[in-house]
Amino acid sequence: IGERAGEYISVALDDPVFMQPIRATLFQTGRGKSEWQLVWNRPAKRPGGRE
């Protein structure tokens, strides 16, 4: 439980087809905290490089 974010779950999705694992966070939302919101950031594309 975070002090400001409330309850959350950190996840990592990893598969050989991914260039790198996808790291994301599930935040508990909604009335009665019966829903979860998945949040992640995609790294910025580097000029001349791969994503």
For residue 51, pLDDT beyond 60: no
3 located within any domain? no
Higher pLDDT, 36 or 47: 36
pLDDT per position as a tens digit, 7-34: 889 999 999 998 889 999 998 887 777 8
> Which structural domain, as residue segments, surrounds residue 16?
8-39
Q: Is residue 28 part of a domain?
A: yes
Any domain includes 50: no
Total structural domains within the chain: 1
- Is residue 33 one of the residues assigned to a domain? yes
Which has the closest alpha carbon to 2: 23, 21, 28?
Answer: 28
46 located within any domain? no
Residues forming beta bridges with residue 49, ordered by sequence position: none
Beta bridge partners of 10: 25
The whole model's pTM is what? 0.62
Neighbour order of strands in the sheet with 8-13? 8-13, 22-29, 35-39
- For Cα atoms 6, 10, 24, give the angle at the middle one, nearest 5 degrees: 110
- 15: in domain: yes
Asked if the structure places residue 49 within a domain, the reply is no
Rg, the chain, Cα only:
15
